[in-house]
Amino acid sequence: MSDQENYQKVCEVDDVWEGEMDVFDVGESEVLIVHSPGGEIRAYSPICPHQDHPLVEGELENCVLTCSAHLWQFDAISGKGINPTGTSLTSYPSKVEDDCIWVVLPES
């Protein structure tokens, strides 16, 4: 099976405006789509690695995603922890094709 076959459609690019993020259901899973200022689109697990809080309830500002529970901060493009360092978001391979966002999710 090729990588092409593993990609699943999440949404259209216009469903998440630049500078915003949202959670989408993809089969049995959820995925957080982050459309960073500047146009970069990334896909992450929708849950903060700190205490399982929904990241979509947080804030996205200047490419920094801040969890609303305990204010942990992550680089929205790389997923790496800013405060604290040494942590990161679970990222999923993603691509934009035909004005749609596609991701590869881990097998359940």
CA distances from 9 to 32, 53, 56 (A): 13, 25, 19
At 4-36, the pLDDT tens digits run 569 999 999 999 999 999 999 999 999 999 999
pTM, whole model, 2 decimals? 0.92
The pLDDT value given to residue 106: 86
- Quickly state the pLDDT bin for 107 (edges 50, 70, 90): confident
**What pLDDT was estimated at residue 108?**
64
The per-residue pLDDT for 95 is 97
Q: What pLDDT does residue 98 have?
A: 95
Contact 55, 21 (CB under 8 A): yes
Task: Report domain extents, the chain.
Answer: 3-103
Summarize pLDDT for 60-102 with one digit per residue, the tens.
999 999 999 999 999 999 999 999 999 999 999 999 999 999 9
Decide yes or no: CATH 2.102.10.10 for domain 3-103: yes
Phi/psi of residue 71, nearest 5 degrees: 65, 25
